[in-house]
Structure 1
């Protein structure tokens, strides 16, 4: 994986979040394999990302409606 220098800090932050999530799942569900915990961590990240995208879309729609109602300055 090639990481752009301007994205390095973001990638490291996400990596730490994923590692912590995996550790949290390992502690909470001691019977699960590492692979199971990794899958659950990835699913959690994916759901969080999707929620953020949907909230962003709703915000964009809201702003679009307001910009149509307000007179141009």
Structure 2
């Protein structure tokens, strides 16, 4: 029984070592695409921001304190 446990532990250790070697490549995430829409003075209108960005071919827009940012390209 003891040898069976030692053998099982050995197999688990070997399997873990093999998996660790295969996953050496670093994970890279693609950068989010954000494009500044036309500069608007004053407050940003969310509906207008979304509409302008959709017309330009993006998924939508996000209002910040200073301007509108288009997010996600459809192409």
TM normalised by structure 2 equals 0.34
Structure number, greater radius of gyration: 2
- The structure where helix makes up a greater share of residues is 1
**Higher RCO, 1 or 2 (CA under 8 Å, sep at least 6)?**
2
- The structure where strand makes up a greater share of residues is 2
